[in-house]
């Protein structure tokens, strides 16, 4: 039976007799990376593509003109590394969108095999300061702030994996830098080595917290709790003297400041990140001047004075500009912050969201217009009507606003007839005087309203307030 099994085994063996198989050839080593990434970026996304032979020349020409890195893997396969700035979430999709947009624009057809964000690798070394001996404290809790304050006294730095290794390289450092001094007069300072700790391996990759759902959940809960607390503080526990609009503006300014910071970081990338912020900033100056003039016109409208009838002084223009400049700067902050946030969260590179960055100029102009129509119109009209009501009810001295400060005078018409537009001149009580344009004086009475007379056609006597007494015209003669 055993012989039968041995005799039957060759018939059941699927292998056929023949010469031994040659070992499989080793795959060719990948070529080195070609190209350079931009200096300013936060993430690198690796995109694997497969290119047909007829499209390979167009593909290489397209990627060669971009700030990407390319590596040939053979048989028409390539690795393309695209640098992305902004948030981690959505960075892979943003890189793919930019990759597809660039290739479709140049007509280079490829097939994307995979896309993944490369994780940064930890450096096994750190920098240690070389300080004169005796300048560091021995107390560990005080050593860290002292290192930061006394860094200007450092004679140089040593790159090492541990403090002990840096100390061992101190003699070599002194030999290469004789101006630093003798090794006996120098010491190496830095974070102390942990007992029993070893230096990290060169290929050790850090743990990405964004891959941990517990970290994302805790972050979302903290942000939500903070938003609820700030919202309750603004709406319910708001201190007296702070309006709801000011509180909302403060809340809006917080994320916009972050967006402006991100926008400033991305300016070196060029393209729309450079000219759009410059254009928005340049638009702020003429907008502030135009809105300051508009603010004066709205305020004077409460007294029945039309636009252009009062000539503003140089000081008045400065006061008006100082009154409207915070609103213009806030509008500029919101506009640039919105642009920066769209770029940071990669919303401007996704489909229809991309149109927002090209329409940002129109959005800013509309925002400035809304600021003028809604904020200034409502605020200045309310202030003008409030001043008119105060003059009519209580009188008192002249009040100043947006660079407009009238004078309180008593009117003496004289013997010659006076050419006027409006109600008869009031001579028994003081009126407000506005210096008009085109040789016209504007006299406003709290009961009769506005009267326009030719300049120097009447005599004006300054008084302290609207409750003062004016002399009779006969006594004045």
Q: Do 238 and 363 have their domain in common?
A: yes
Residues of the domain holding 326: 224-380
The pLDDT of residue 47 is: 93
For range 107-129, the mean pLDDT? 80
For range 417-434, the mean pLDDT? 85
107 domain residue, yes or no:
yes
Distance of CA 410 to the CA centre of its chain: 54
Q: Provide the number of structural domains found in the chain.
A: 4
Biggest alpha carbon–alpha carbon distance for the chain: 154
Provide, rounded to the nearest whole percent, the portion of the chain with pLDDT above 70. 73
Closest CA to 305 of 443, 446, 466: 443
8 domain residue, yes or no:
no
The pLDDT of residue 163 is: 81
Q: Do 114 and 134 have their domain in common?
A: no
215 domain residue, yes or no:
no
Q: Do 363 and 244 have their domain in common?
A: yes
207 domain residue, yes or no:
no
Q: Do 289 and 373 have their domain in common?
A: yes
Beta bridge partners of 48: 79, 114
Q: Do 251 and 308 have their domain in common?
A: yes
219 domain residue, yes or no:
no
Tens-place pLDDT, residues 264-310: 777 666 556 667 777 777 878 888 888 888 888 889 999 988 888 88
Tens-place pLDDT, residues 438-447: 888 889 998 8
Beta bridge partners of 232: none
Q: Do 179 and 230 have their domain in common?
A: no
Name, in order, each residue with C-beta under 8 angstroms of 152's C-beta and a sequence gap of 6 or more. none
The pLDDT of residue 139 is: 54
Q: Do 259 and 334 have their domain in common?
A: yes
Contact call for residues 344 and 257 (beta carbons, < 8 A): no
**Poorest-pLDDT segment among 141-155, 319-333, 386-400, 447-461:** 141-155
**Long-range contacts (CB closer than 8 Å, 24 or more residues apart) made by 373-382:** 375/327, 376/291, 376/294, 376/295, 376/298, 376/324, 376/327, 377/298, 380/295, 380/298, 380/299, 381/298, 381/299, 381/301, 381/302
For range 161-184, the mean pLDDT? 84
Contact call for residues 402 and 380 (beta carbons, < 8 A): yes
354 domain residue, yes or no:
yes
Last residue of one domain, picked from the residues 345, 364, 380: 380
Give the C-alpha separation, 400 to 387, whole Å: 9
Tell me the helices (H) and strands (E) count for the chain, helix number first. Answer: 14, 13
Residue 204: both structure tokens together: 């050790």
CA dihedral (251, 256, 262, 264) positive or negative: negative
Q: Do 171 and 230 have their domain in common?
A: no
Q: Do 428 and 360 have their domain in common?
A: no
| pLDDT band per the 50, 70, 90 thresholds, residue 203 | very low
The pLDDT of residue 55 is: 87
Tens-place pLDDT, residues 384-418: 999 999 998 888 888 888 888 898 999 888 777 77
Last residue of one domain, picked from the residues 135, 167, 189: 189
Q: Do 336 and 298 have their domain in common?
A: yes
Residue 85 sits in a domain whose CATH number is 3.30.70.1150
106 domain residue, yes or no:
yes
The pLDDT of residue 81 is: 93
391 domain residue, yes or no:
no
Residue with tokens 């407009």: 404
Q: Do 136 and 111 have their domain in common?
A: no
Q: How many residues does the chain have?
A: 477
Q: Do 350 and 287 have their domain in common?
A: yes
Q: Following CA atoms 104, 107, 109, 112 in sequence, which dihedral angle do they give, to the nearest 10 degrees?
A: -20
More reliable by pLDDT, 379 or 214? 379
Beta bridge partners of 408: 432
Helix, coil or strand: residue 468: coil
**pTM recorded for the entire structure:** 0.63
Last residue of one domain, picked from the residues 64, 99, 118: 118
Contact call for residues 186 and 174 (beta carbons, < 8 A): yes
The pLDDT of residue 108 is: 78
């Amino acid at each position: 039976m055993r012989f039968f099994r041995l005799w039957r085994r060759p018939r059941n063996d699927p292998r056929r007799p023949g010469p031994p198989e040659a070992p499989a050839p080793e795959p060719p080593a990948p070529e080195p990376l070609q190209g350079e990434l931009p200096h300013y970026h936060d993430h690198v996304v690796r995109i694997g593509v497969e290119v047909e032979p007829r499209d390979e020349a167009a593909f290489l020409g397209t990627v060669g003109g971009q700030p990407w890195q390319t590596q040939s893997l053979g048989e028409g396969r390539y690795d393309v590394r695209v640098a992305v700035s902004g948030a981690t979430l959505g960075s892979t999709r943003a890189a793919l969108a930019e990759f597809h947009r660039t290739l479709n624009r140049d007509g280079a057809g490829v097939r994307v095999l995979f896309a993944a964000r490369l994780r940064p690798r930890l450096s096994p070394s750190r920098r240690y300061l070389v300080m004169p001996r005796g300048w560091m404290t021995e107390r560990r809790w005080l050593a860290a702030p002292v290192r930061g304050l006394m860094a200007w006294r450092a004679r140089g730095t040593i790159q090492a994996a541990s403090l002990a290794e840096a100390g061992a390289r101190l003699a070599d450092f002194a030999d290469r830098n004789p101006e630093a001094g003798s090794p006996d007069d120098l010491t190496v300072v830095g974070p102390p080595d942990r007992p029993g700790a070893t230096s990290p391996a060169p290929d050790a990759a850090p743990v990405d917290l964004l891959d941990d759902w517990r970290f994302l959940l805790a972050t979302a809960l903290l942000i939500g709790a903070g938003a609820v607390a700030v919202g309750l503080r603004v709406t319910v526990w708001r201190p007296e003297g702070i309006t709801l609009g000011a509180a909302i503006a403060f809340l809006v300014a917080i994320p916009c400041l972050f967006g402006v910071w991100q926008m400033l970081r991305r300016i070196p990338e060029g393209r729309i990140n450079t000219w759009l912020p410059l254009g928005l900033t340049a638009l702020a100056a003429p907008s502030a001047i135009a809105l300051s003039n508009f603010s004066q016109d709205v305020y004077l409208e409460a007294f029945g004075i039309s636009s252009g009838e009062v000539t503003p002084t140089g000081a008045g223009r400065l006061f008006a500009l100082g009154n409207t400049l915070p609103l213009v700067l806030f509008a500029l902050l919101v506009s640039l912050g919105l642009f920066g946030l769209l770029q940071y969260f990669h919303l401007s590179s996704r489909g229809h969201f991309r149109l927002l960055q090209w329409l940002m100029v129109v959005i800013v102009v509309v925002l400035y217009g809304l600021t003028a129509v809604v904020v200034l119109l409502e605020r200045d009209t309310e202030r003008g009507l409030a001043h008119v009501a105060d003059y009519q009810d209580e009188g008192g001295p002249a009040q100043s606003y947006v660079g407009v400060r009238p004078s309180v005078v008593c009117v003496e018409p004289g013997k010659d007839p006076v050419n006027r537009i409006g109600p008869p001149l009031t001579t028994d009580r003081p009126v407000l005087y506005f210096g008009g344009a085109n040789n016209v004086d504007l006299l406003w009475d709290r009961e009769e309203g506005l009267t326009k007379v030719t300049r120097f056609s009447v005599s004006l006597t300054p008084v302290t307030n609207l409750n003062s007494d004016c002399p009779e015209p006969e006594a004045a003669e």
